[in-house]
Amino acid sequence: MEKTWRWFGKKDKISLAMLRQIGVEGIVTALHDIPNGEVWTLEAIEDLKHYIDSFGLRWSVVESLPVCEAIKYAGPERKQLIENYKVSLANLGKAGIKTVCYNFMPVIDWIRTDLQHLWADGSSSLYFDKMRFAYFDCRILQREEAEKDYTSEELEQVSALDKTITEAEKEVLIDTIIVKTQGFVNGNIKEGDKNPVNIFKSLLALYKDIDRDALRENMRYFLTAIMPVCEEYDVNMCVHPDDPPFQMLGLPRIVTCEEDIDWFLKAVDNPHNGLTFCAGSLSAGEHNDTRKLAEKFAKRTHFVHLRSTQAMPGGNFIESSHLEGRGHLTDLIRIFEKENPGLPMRVDHGRMMLGDEDKGYNPGYSFHGRMLALAQVEGMMAVVKDELEKGLI
Ligand code: DNO
Give pLDDT tens digits for 321-359. 999 999 999 999 999 999 999 999 999 999 999 999 999
| Partners of 310 in the β-ladder | 318
Q: Does 103 contact ligand 1 (Cβ within 6 A)? A: yes
**What is the residue with the minimal CA distance to atom 9 of ligand 1?**
185
Q: What is the mean pLDDT of residues 23-51?
A: 98
- CB half-sphere exposure, 245, CA atoms < 13 A: 25
Q: Does 361 contact ligand 1 (Cβ within 6 A)? A: no
More confident residue, 191 or 261: 261
230 is catalytic: no
Spatial distance between the Cα atoms of 274 and 268, rounded to a whole number of angstroms? 10
Return all residues near 382 (Cβ < 8 A) that are at least 6 apart: none
Predicted pLDDT of residue 312: 87
Q: Where are the domains of the chain?
A: 2-110+213-389, 128-205
Q: Does 242 contact ligand 1 (Cβ within 6 A)? A: no
Spatial distance between the Cα atoms of 106 and 252, rounded to a whole number of angstroms? 7
For 29, the enclosing helix (H) or strand (E) is: strand 26-29
Predicted pLDDT of residue 313: 78
Share the mean pLDDT of the chain.
Answer: 97
Q: Does 284 contact ligand 1 (Cβ within 6 A)? A: no
**For the residues of 37-67, what is the DSSP string, one character each?**
TS---HHHHHHHHHHHHTTT-EEEEEE--PP
Spatial distance between the Cα atoms of 31 and 316, rounded to a whole number of angstroms? 33
CB 242 within 8 A of CB 254: yes
Query: What is the 163 CA–ligand 1 centroid distance (Å)?
Result: 34
Query: What is the 103 CA–ligand 1 centroid distance (Å)?
Result: 7
Query: What is the 109 CA–ligand 1 centroid distance (Å)?
Result: 7
162 is catalytic: no
Q: Does 277 contact ligand 1 (Cβ within 6 A)? A: no
From 68, 101, 257, 278, the catalytic residue: 278
Residue-wise pLDDT tens digits, 157-203: 999 999 999 999 999 999 999 999 999 999 999 899 999 999 999 99
Q: What is the mean pLDDT of residues 287-310?
A: 97
Q: Does 227 contact ligand 1 (Cβ within 6 A)? A: no
Q: Which of 12, 55, 2 is nearest to 33 (CA)?
A: 12
What atom in ligand 1 is closest to the CA of residue 278? 8
CB 60 within 8 A of CB 343: no
One-letter amino acid at 75 equals G
Q: Is the pLDDT of residue 4 over 90?
A: yes
278 is catalytic: yes
Backbone angle region of 126, left / alpha / beta, with phi > 0 → left and psi within -120 to 50 → alpha: beta
Spatial distance between the Cα atoms of 86 and 222, rounded to a whole number of angstroms? 10
CB 199 within 8 A of CB 193: yes
Return all residues near 210 (Cβ < 8 A) that are at least 6 apart: 72, 73, 74, 106, 218, 252
Return all residues near 268 (Cβ < 8 A) that are at least 6 apart: 220, 223, 224, 227
Residue-wise pLDDT tens digits, 133-143: 999 999 999 99
Residue-wise pLDDT tens digits, 212-248: 999 999 999 999 999 999 999 999 999 999 999 999 9
- Overall fold of domain 2-110+213-389: TIM Barrel (3.20.20)
322 is catalytic: no
Which of 185, 189, 255 has most ligand 1 atoms within 8 Å of CB, for mutation? 185
Q: What is the mean pLDDT of residues 266-279?
A: 98
Q: What is the pTM of this model?
A: 0.97
**H-helix segments, the chain:** 16-21, 42-53, 69-72, 78-94, 130-135, 152-164, 167-174, 196-205, 212-233, 258-267, 279-283, 290-297, 329-339, 368-389
Q: Is the pLDDT of residue 314 over 90?
A: no
Predicted pLDDT of residue 369: 98
Percent of the chain exceeding pLDDT 70 equals 100
From 12, 137, 348, 356, the catalytic residue: 348
From 127, 230, 349, 356, the catalytic residue: 349
| Number of residues in the chain | 393
What atom in ligand 1 is closest to the CA of residue 365? 7
Q: Does 154 contact ligand 1 (Cβ within 6 A)? A: no
349 is catalytic: yes
Percent of the chain exceeding pLDDT 90 equals 98
